[in-house]
Chain A
């Protein structure tokens, strides 16, 4: 496996220092020119940075995966608040360009609810969720597990539906690693993995949620066992389900570069 040479590290250190100066000077054109031309917009939109920036310094330079070199930059804003950003530089047309940038420590997106919250038919699910419990719709008459929520039982046509507790344990049915920051609230919180998880204890219904640990270094597989836990958000009085790969320690520091080819 290829690793960066001392010359590579020196070159990238110079690139990163120049980049930091451009940032501090607010030279947008020079900043953008340091990114791979086909993804500078995606990279900029994916970062959570102080605005305006008062100072940027290079705090580390080290070999990354494959041919890449990683640099750490510390951004400081007017209030003294700092953000650490990891840049991955790759060789490009005789020099180096940033292929990927990540806020550190890695964080996952906060839940977003549409205006007006949730539809009444989902209330039993969300009320339980805020108390740290997974509840899924179940027909009171024929006991069929139902997901997504319905207004009557599609199996026996009963109108008596409830929400029954179910152990937050299951198997990954499908997953995706999202890199594009589709929403402004995703700045500083990409990439993330969403796992669709089949619950054997609830008739095999599938429930989607974010997957931990944070995804730069982890590639899940369909069939992997997961368990759920409930993370506070907002003012701290609400909770949201997150899936966690069973048997893998919660590696949330995101300090190591992954092998995901620019993801």
Chain B
């Protein structure tokens, strides 16, 4: 049962604007990360039809190098009332940043918070998504990348839990399918066939090329405001029904000693808390934006959330026919996701989760009322947010 506090939070905040920059091949952005961050906020303000000077809060995650106060200063906002950066590297903080912004506006600490993430290789280097997380206990033994860590976990999920590799393939194929209707997507015009997926070069087994997200230069932002203000902004609001972030038990920063090793990190209590707080369950979810740094942990997330059967039966849900907007029961990554649209640490998934409610998705799900955002699987921190067409369901 949801507590009074959770019920008060339910639908107390909403997203009223989204903004994205172009997605550049890594290292090729003509703009700095700070410029991209500001550009994304400006576009979100345009979408909401509000002056950018009215943005009074900033939230980001994962060591974003563009501090909120500096973004505000560059934008020349009237006043900054609130800002935060979510602890924990990796894309696990993406939904947590949205939740933090919602909490801030719901409690009157700010009126219009920009949640953003901006990356350029020139400013942030390669692999900015794992900054500070792979020390010598990894690198002395050949482990340099999140790909290898996620490969270890995926191997055990396949070999021991019996999850079929086809479930991973379905994540990749669904993303690429949807990206073909998204001209912004890096893989627009490059459909992925089952054969190309299966013949691709190995990265780190059991992950091949198309199991791995790329890195792009780019930025995106959304504007989070209190629900009672939504009429001041243009367009349909996407209400935030609730959200969770967290780690554990025995999960975070454990050097591959996490207790539920083949889980994505969304433990049972956290998932139950999300559904309780939101007043919806897995069967109510109309569309999912699933953070797929790599396809294996993405499948693990779906299992954690009860959206997909564990073990060999996972493919009953995780098959491409079921995951595409054209006739699928649970459309997934409808703008292409990290794999096929482009990777700016998952922030584009927030935009798309909102668009499924607000409008503007390249692959709109008819009458979508509940849109789930799942952040950063297998990261030290994981998080999720539920967006909805109405403040309570």
> Which A residues, 155 to 210, have Cβ-Cβ distances below 8 Å to chain B?
173-180, 182-183, 186, 191-192, 194, 196, 205-206, 208-210
A51 to B135 CA separation, bound complex (whole angstroms): 32
Contacts of B209 in A (CB 8 A): 38
Give complex CA distance A182, B155 in Å: 19
A222 touches B136 (CB 8 A): no
Of B201, B205, B256, the residue contacting A42 (CB under 8 A) is B201
Q: Is the CB–CB distance between B144 and A182 below 8 Å?
A: yes
Q: Which residue of A lies closest to B139 (CB)?
A: A112
* Closest chain A CB from B34 CB (angstroms): 26
A118 within 8 A of B: yes
* A180–B153 touching, CB < 8 Å: no
* Chain B interfacial residues counted at CB < 8 A: 35
Residue A98 CB within 8 A of the other chain: no
List residues of chain B with CB within 8 A of the CB of A122.
135-137
| B366 beta carbon closer than 8 Å to chain A | no
- Number of contacts between A and B (CB, 8 Å)? 119
Kindly state the separation between the CA atoms of A196 and B156 in the bound complex, as whole angstroms. 10
Least CB distance, A210 to chain B, in whole angstroms: 5
The answer for the CA separation of A148 and B141 in the assembled complex, in Å, is 14
Which residues from chain A contact B322 at a C-beta distance below 8 Å?
Answer: none
Which of A126, A191, A194, A209 contacts B152 (CB under 8 A)?
A: A194
- Nearest A-chain residue to B200, judged by Cβ: A38
Q: Which of B179-202 contact A (CB under 8 A)?
A: 200-202
- Contact pick for A176, options B151, B160, B255, CB 8 Å: B151
Q: Is A221 an interface residue (CB 8 A)?
A: yes
Partner of A175, one of B144, B155, B203, B261: B155
Task: Please state if A179 and B257 are interface contacts (CB–CB under 8 Å).
Answer: no
CA of A233 to CA of B153, assembled, Å: 29
B233 to chain A, nearest CB (A): 44
Residues 134-153 of B contacting A (Cβ, < 8 Å): 135-145, 147-148, 151-153
Give Cα distance in the complex from A127 to B201, angstroms: 39
Residues A180 and B147 in contact, CB atoms below 8 Å apart: yes
Q: Say yes or no: B205 contacts A196, CB within 8 Å.
A: no
In the A-B complex, the 5 residue pairs with the closest CB atoms: A148-B255, A111-B140, A176-B151, A179-B202, A174-B152
Known: A122-B135, A148-B137, A208-B143. 19 other contacts (CB 8 A): A39-B201, A112-B140, A113-B136, A113-B140, A114-B136, A114-B139, A126-B136, A176-B205, A176-B207, A178-B203, A192-B142, A194-B148, A194-B152, A206-B257, A208-B137, A210-B141, A240-B140, A262-B201, A263-B202
